[in-house]
Structure 1
Amino acid sequence: MLWKNRNAFAFEGRVFDAETTVAKCVEDSRRWVEVLEASKKDEEGRSRICNVGKVWKAPQRERERERVKCNIGISWTKDSGLVGAGWILRNSEGEVLFHSRRAFNGAASLLEAQRLGLLWAAESMISHRVKNVTFEIEASELVGSLNRQKAWPAFRAYGEELREMMSKVSGWEVSLVKRDANMGAFLIARSVTKEKRFQSYVAQGSPSWLKRLLADEGTRMVS
């Protein structure tokens, strides 16, 4: 709210008194807490938002088009603000098409790290001209802001920014995923923060050190 008021002052010349600003902050905080509490109760029933299984699931085959799944992993170090991000793109047969890794600096929170990772993954799909992508990420706030905007008013700005980027990916979907079903992408991301592998890359096929894990996920996948 302080940031919004600052922008309104800088670009529109609008001035807000302290009492109004504080009251609005308190109201937004109250609504945010209510939404988070409500989301915990119905999270398991959100078929559009989350995949609650412990097994990676291949994207469903569609009659007229091929759908692919992009799993996004995020690893964030609080002390340094270092972010490791990784994504793995697979088809309906569980075959790894591409995988990638990148490091970011200066993220003040896990939410900011997740935002950077999701935006980067979308940009990657755009640059590789990949269509009909289901993105999976461990970020309930971001997924909620995209799929249920009215239920996540405190994250509206995130949702608007992400939707603008996602609109450039034809046939996009975003779902919440648990760590057990997102292990490959997470391990790629963690190689940045734990093993200090800062070099970014994009490569075809499975990463050699994750072949066994990804092959095992593929054999257990649910089509």
Structure 2
Amino acid sequence: MSRDRYERIKRVLDVTVAALVLVLAAPVMAATALAIALTMGRPVLFRQSRPGLHGELFELVKFRSMRAEGDPLSPLHDARRMTPLGRWLRATSLDELPSLWNVLRGDMSLVGPRPLLPQYVPRYTAEQFRRHEVRPGVTGLQQVRGRNALAWEERFVLDVWYVEHRSLLLDLRILAWTVVTVLRRDGITAPGSATAHEYRGVPVPDREREPVR
């Protein structure tokens, strides 16, 4: 299958599945929004700029899982800001449901590299930036291979591997693996962190090397 045909079919699949899940999950989303409003107050949605296709910024939408206090970009305060409801939402991935709106808009795909923080982009090597050759995903290869439990270097290797080998069959496999990963609640947090460790880039000598092909 040609790459162009794959991208067209994938987009149709993204829109169809995202719209269907949003309709079917509407009662769950309404209950989740009410629970967040009662325990954490408003707003119930978390909105943040993230780099997407070609590094262009878009507004990611998720359910809030933390109290709105401290620095929302600092993982150092995540453990203090995280609520019991928020931990459960992350463990069950219910916090991701509003991101299906990003899929409908075309900001994201169902499958692709996870959208990370904008401040990480200048820290990428040229090889790592290749993760932005495709739309970011609600789930992805690194999500089903370890998620936040993986070292950053491993995550980027998996992201670039996906970019180079993406196909409908691989996407369907990742979606199936995602169900298993969510049920097992694997890799939700990084060791010693309430969420994930900050990506600080690679050592300078590594940046000067030719990207590994």
- TM-score tier, shorter chain, comes to under 0.3
Task: Indicate the structure (1 or 2) with the bigger Cα radius of gyration.
Answer: 1
Structure in which a larger fraction of residues adopt strand: 1
The normalised TM-score by structure 1 is 0.27
